[in-house]
Amino acid sequence: MSPPNHSETVREFSQRLRESGAAALGGLYDLTAARLVRFSTTITRNQQDAEDAVAAVLLKVVESPSILVHATSPWSYLLRMVRNESLVILRKRKRWAIVQSLMDLWTVIPVDELDREELLQAVWRELRALPTEQSEVVVLKIWEEMTFQQIAEVLEIPPPTAASRYRYAMTKLASKLSVEPLEVRHVD
């Protein structure tokens, strides 16, 4: 779950990075990397590319942490940087084919979720089958708990466009994923 002041925490870590240099990168990595990789994977559809994008962005942040310190919303800015880098990598490698298998993903299933592994992986599979512009809205909306206004800022689109993409994506996902009532447990 995204804490309400996540953006401020990112700013605080960026400030430390500015003061202490690369030695302080570990904190920012621990705070953001998993979520950035997750977001980037929905764009690149390949975890290796996503990790390359995240690495490139974090190295840029090390070079000039001030861009995050002075950003209005550092977390949104970081997401936008990762998105742009992911798109660059995607364009460079021309990997437009949708990967149906999850073999390239580094998945971790909590022990108490093992019985639902297939269900959880099905979500990823279907997310990757969506067009990028729809899957990224779903990720930002559901996993990053952003408003459509915030999503619009990250994706540089009007808020109504973000909302309609979300609607289309959710309708598709609902039809693809079996939607019988399940006891859903949160994985933190």
Partner 1 sequence: MSIDSSSYRDRMNDDDLSPELGRTAERIRAASSIVQPSEFLRTKILQRARQKEGDTRSDRIVLRAVMALVVCSLLLMFTALKLDAWQDEPVRRATWAGMQERAAEIAAERRIAVDASLCEAYLEWRSDLSQRWRNSNASSSFQP
Q: Which is nearer to partner 1, 59 or 88 (CB)?
A: 59
Q: Report the C-alpha gap between 163 and 142 in whole angstroms.
A: 12
Q: Report the C-alpha gap between 69 and 67 in whole angstroms.
A: 6
Q: Which is nearer to partner 1, 2 or 70 (CB)?
A: 2
Query: Judged by CB under 8 A, does residue 138 bind partner 1?
Result: yes
Q: Report the C-alpha gap between 157 and 182 in whole angstroms.
A: 34
Smallest distance from partner 1 to CB 71, Å: 20
Query: What one-character DSSP code corresponds to residue 65?
Result: T
Q: Report the C-alpha gap between 76 and 80 in whole angstroms.
A: 6
Size of interface with partner 1, in residues (CB under 8 A): 64
Angle at 138 between CA 30 and CA 133, to 5 degrees: 105
> Of 84-113, which residues contact partner 1 (CB under 8 A)?
105-110, 113
Smallest distance from partner 1 to CB 93, Å: 18
Nearest Cα to Cα of residue 7 among 34, 24, 32: 32
Q: Residues 10, 11, 14, 25: which binds partner 1 (CB under 8 A)?
A: 25
Q: Residues 41, 44, 73, 76: which binds partner 1 (CB under 8 A)?
A: 41
Smallest distance from partner 1 to CB 186, Å: 6
Q: Under the phi-then-psi rule, with left for phi > 0, alpha for psi from -120 to 50, and beta for the rest, what region is 51?
A: alpha
Query: Judged by CB under 8 A, does residue 145 bind partner 1?
Result: yes
Residue 174: how many CB atoms within 10 A of its CB? 11
Residues near 187 by beta carbon (within 8 Å), at least 6 away in sequence:
110, 113, 120
Binding site for partner 1 (CB under 8 A): 21-23, 25-26, 29-30, 33-34, 37-38, 41, 47, 51, 54-55, 58-59, 62-63, 105-110, 113, 116, 119-121, 123-124, 127, 138, 141-143, 145-149, 152, 159-160, 162-164, 166-167, 170-171, 173-174, 177, 179, 181-182, 184-188
